[in-house]
Amino acid sequence: MLENVLPANADTLLVISGMGNFQYQARGLTQTLSVIPQAADLERSVNGVLLNLGNPIFRKYRSKITCTDVDAPPLDGIWPGMVVTVQCAINLCYPTGNPGSPFRSEVSGSSYTQGSFTFYRPVLEMMIQPFSENFEEWKGDIGWSLDLEEV
């Protein structure tokens, strides 16, 4: 199996293009992926059946990346509204052989099959949302978080 195997000469699975040189060791990195609120417009019919009236063009993701390490990514000069390409650390999966899958581009070499499912790390064009950085003096830890939303 090839899941979560670091690419050659890489210190992390996460790659963000458009933020300068984003090469550093990311220990303790966490990435969440969730759908944007506009992906669903849930309403009940007169018969009480729950329906999604949301437009499929809103089927997009948001992500939160957090990390505590000895360094942070190059956040100086990065502002909300900037668009970056994210090669996600997190996996998505779909039933193997499902027509039209995967629904997003995949990070080259990240795809693997386990049982009847194919897993892959998606590549997403995302807009930077609020981010923060903190420093804990006693431990010498630098923490940071970055919110992103698919364009």
pLDDT digits (tens, 9 = 90+) for 90-127: 999 999 998 888 999 999 999 999 999 999 999 999 99
Segment 23-62, tens digit of pLDDT: 555 678 899 999 999 999 999 999 999 999 999 999 999 9
∠54-60-64 over CA atoms, to 5°?
130
Q: Max CA-CA distance within the chain?
A: 60
Q: 151: closest CA among 81, 102, 89, 92?
A: 81
Predicted confidence (pLDDT) at residue 84 exceeds the cutoff of 80: yes
Residue type, 4: N
Distance CA 78, CA 132 (A): 11
Burial class (CB in 10 A: 0-12, 13-18, 19+), 92: middle
pTM metric for this prediction: 0.84
Q: Can you tell me which residue has the tokens 């000069």? A: 77
Distance CA 54, CA 58 (A): 7
C-alpha 124 chain-centroid distance: 7
